[in-house]
Amino acid sequence: MLRLLLICGVSLTQALDNGLALTPPMGWLTWQRYRCLTDCTTYPDECISEKLIKRTADMLVDEGYLEAGYDYIGIDDCWMEKNRSASGKLVPDRERFPSGMKMLGKYVHSKGLKFGIYQDYGTKTCAGYPGVMGHEQTDVDTLVSWGVDYIKLDGCYSKPEEMKTGYPDFGRMLNKTGRPVLYSCSWPAYLEPDSILPNYTVIAENCNLWRNWDDIEDSWQSLLGIMNWFGDNQERLAPFAGPGHWNDPDMLLVGNYGLSLDQARVQMAVWAVLAAPLLISADLARMRPEFKEILLNRDIIAVNQDPLGKQGLRVYNDSKHHRQIWTRKLSDNSYAVAFVSTRVDGVPYAVSFSHGDMKIPAQNYRVQDLYNEEEDRKLGADETFTTRINPTGVKFFKFIPVGQSEEDFKDPEEHTLKNVNFNTDNDLDKTVVVV
């Protein structure tokens, strides 16, 4: 059996010392839904503007998202004028942000929310607006003066050797201001696609969260591609996730156009197992009730926000039969287990799995359906677990140990990162040590 030995209970690195993101950040971002839409004449309700941000801030509060934990609201690219001021400062677009960013930040804060903004460690942002390179201290001082609480720093128009020093330097400048600013880096996302292996030890020391891979697109194909990439690379990603520092598979698509209800449930479940940031990017004014229910599911949010901060794993991957299992250990000694079907055709089908398949200790459990479709049930130590999954769907359960002493709760393989790409043949006998 393939075993990747590491001490999962102890972080391999120290997080950015700003006291933030002790659980994965939650909030709302503009990019996936609104991209770089700047034509407010034709699209007054969808363009990147203070009107959009204020309306969304109101809805985050009024519709229960803030109460559920979604407390950041962030503006992505395309909020600036194309040129800096005469003194070299960033200037918000004068027509779309007539009140200025400082006043917008005050409005966001008045709602009990935190204010996020985008910049780029390069000469330009991805959409061609001014980047921070050569203006780092000026931009840090400007953004902090506006009351920014979250900075997403992209990586267009910069080189890997520039990122190596630029991202840490920018983070240190933020820390020196004394303002607690959540720092989101896109650093590894510009290395991984070019097969440059990032130094995640250094990244986790300098960033609260970091984009690892390609931008997510509003489709099942894109979502599945990112899930599989994380599953295929989890042995070198998972050790660096924990309180204060998180892998980021990108924004939630839930409530947009590209995912069915079942597929949206898959993303929410797998993101919860991955301890991923939960960053909505959808039009809250047009959010259908069934998708809102997914985003506000308290039981699943609790899995995502579990204080143990241990990233879960894809522990079973049967590509022939198009089924996966994603498992995460939680702080109360229970396990969150997502059974995913990647089939795109057919009808719901029944599957049965052993404790070993799920990578949970062989003991008795009370099983809670986190999507509330089934009544709680029991699973004995010698029984297999059977459930029925829709095509491109998920069943998401919490396995809660019962009839055990505290000593019995201990995982006998606590220090083992289990089975990266488990298959039904079970003929792997290679041992790999992660250092």
| Separation of alpha carbons 322 and 299, rounded Å | 26
Residues 6+ apart with CB under 8 A from 98: 50
pLDDT tens, position by position, 362-405: 999 999 999 999 999 999 999 999 999 999 999 999 999 997 54
In CATH, the number for domain 313-433 is 2.60.40.1180
Domain 12-304: which topology? TIM Barrel (3.20.20)
pLDDT tens, position by position, 287-298: 999 999 999 999
Q: Is the pLDDT of residue 421 over 70?
A: no
Residue 194 appears among annotated catalytic residues: no
Q: Is the pLDDT of residue 188 over 80?
A: yes
pLDDT tens, position by position, 67-102: 999 999 999 999 999 999 999 999 999 999 999 999
Q: Is the pLDDT of residue 4 over 60?
A: no
pLDDT tens, position by position, 253-264: 999 999 999 999
Which DSSP string do the residues of 278-329 spell out, in sequence order? EEE-S-GGG--HHHHHHHT-HHHHHHHT-TT----EEEEEETTTTEEEEEEE
Catalytic residue from among 71, 93, 154, 357:
154
pLDDT band at 435 (very low <50, low <70, confident <90, very high): very low
Q: Where are the domains of the chain?
A: 12-304, 313-433
pTM (2 d.p.):
0.90
Number of helical H runs and strand E runs in the chain: 13, 19
| Separation of alpha carbons 73 and 298, rounded Å | 20
Residue 76 appears among annotated catalytic residues: no
Residues 6+ apart with CB under 8 A from 138: 88, 89
Residue indicated by tokens 């949970």: 360
12-304 and 313-433 share one CATH topology?
no
CB 100 within 8 A of CB 90: no
| Separation of alpha carbons 123 and 159, rounded Å | 10
Q: So what's the pLDDT on residue 320?
A: 94
3-state SS, residue 80: strand
Q: Is the pLDDT of residue 331 over 90?
A: yes
Which DSSP string do the residues of 155-196 spell out, in sequence order? -TT--HHHHHHHHHHHHHHHHHTT---EEEE-GGGGTGGGT-
Q: Is the pLDDT of residue 346 over 90?
A: no
Average pLDDT over residues 242-255: 98
Whole-number Cα distances in Å, 350 to 339, 354, 430? 11, 14, 32
Q: So what's the pLDDT on residue 185?
A: 98
Q: Is the pLDDT of residue 195 over 50?
A: yes
Among candidates 163, 313, 344, which has minimal Cα distance to 239? 313
Among candidates 244, 243, 264, which has minimal Cα distance to 255? 264
Mean of the per-residue pLDDT values of the chain: 91
pLDDT band at 16 (very low <50, low <70, confident <90, very high): low
CB 151 within 8 A of CB 181: yes
Average pLDDT over residues 118-145: 98
pLDDT tens, position by position, 38-65: 999 999 999 999 999 999 999 999 999 9
Catalytic residue from among 215, 262, 283, 299:
215
